[in-house]
Amino acid sequence: MRGPLRLAAIAGLVAAAFFLVWWDQRAGAPTETAAQPPKADRQRAGPQLGSGFDFYLLSLSWSPSYCEAEGQEANRQQCGSDRPYGFVVHGLWPQFEQGFPENCATGEPDLASQTVRRFYELMPSAGLIRHQWRKHGTCSGLDQRDYFATLRAAHDKVAVPEEFRSLDAYRTVAPGAVEDAFRRANPMLPAQGITIACDERYLREVRICLTKELAFRPCPAIDRRSCRSTAAIMPPVRGR
């Protein structure tokens, strides 16, 4: 009987040893938690910070002025008779305190058509979107995804005054009054953080300076180039 008892004891010891190893492994295993997004996706939450420049200039174009001034040469995608565009994004331009970079080297491919289509409500021209990436986006230190996400966030940051969201008739305005209206709609916007672009007849653009974090900031060199006309025309929105 000693043989069978000895074998049974040995088997019991072996089983106990396996159990202890299994228990240690189980205790050391990480506790299962709710699924987390991949690290790369967590890092992309919110606009990414650009690099290689000092600040952004967000340019908002009064689309009816562009369409009327360009006439037959205007982009049909933007200027068709059924296109009810008011202020649209011309671009988000990286700036130095003096001057700006452009057409920077990049390893990024051409913009995919799907990416272009996602921004039509902000920039209603495929050619404009592609041009803005090549000339300005490539100098932001961001890839295409992050640059256009930042452009959208910059657009959403700025409130367009109610009186300029949609005009149904020609309106003659003082450029300074347009600046004042934008500052009332955006109380943190400094007087030297906005500039108006005009030609000899039309109000063409409102340009606003933003930090890399998309906070309003002054930009005296930009402000000094503001429209000096006492009056400019804003044509009505089309397609109304």
Per-residue pLDDT reduced to its tens digit, 33-50: 344 444 444 455 566 889
**pLDDT for 89:** 98
Pinpoint the alpha helices (H) of 71-164. 76-79, 113-117, 126-135, 144-157
Taking alpha carbons only, the member of 217, 92, 210 closest to residue 148 is: 92
Q: Is 232 exposed, middle or buried (0-12, 13-18, 19+ CB in 10 A)?
A: buried
Query: Which portions of the chain are predicted below pLDDT 50?
Result: 1, 5, 7, 10, 14, 20-23, 26-42
Taking alpha carbons only, the member of 59, 73, 62 closest to residue 236 is: 62
How far apart are the two ends of the chain, measured CA to CA in Å? Answer: 104
DSSP-assigned beta bridge partners for residue 208: 58, 194
- In sign, the C-alpha dihedral spanning 21, 26, 30, 36 is positive
Give the H/E segment covering residue 223.
helix 220-223
pLDDT tens digits for 197-220?
Answer: 999 999 999 999 999 999 999 999
**pLDDT for 35:** 44
Per DSSP, the residues of 41-68 read HHHTSSPPP--SSSEEEEEEEEHHHHHH
Domain 55-234 has CATH 3.90.730.10: yes
**pLDDT for 7:** 47
In whole angstroms, give the CA distance from residue 201 to residue 179.
Answer: 18
CB atoms within 10 A of CB 10: 10
DSSP single-letter state for residue 225: T
**pLDDT for 214:** 98
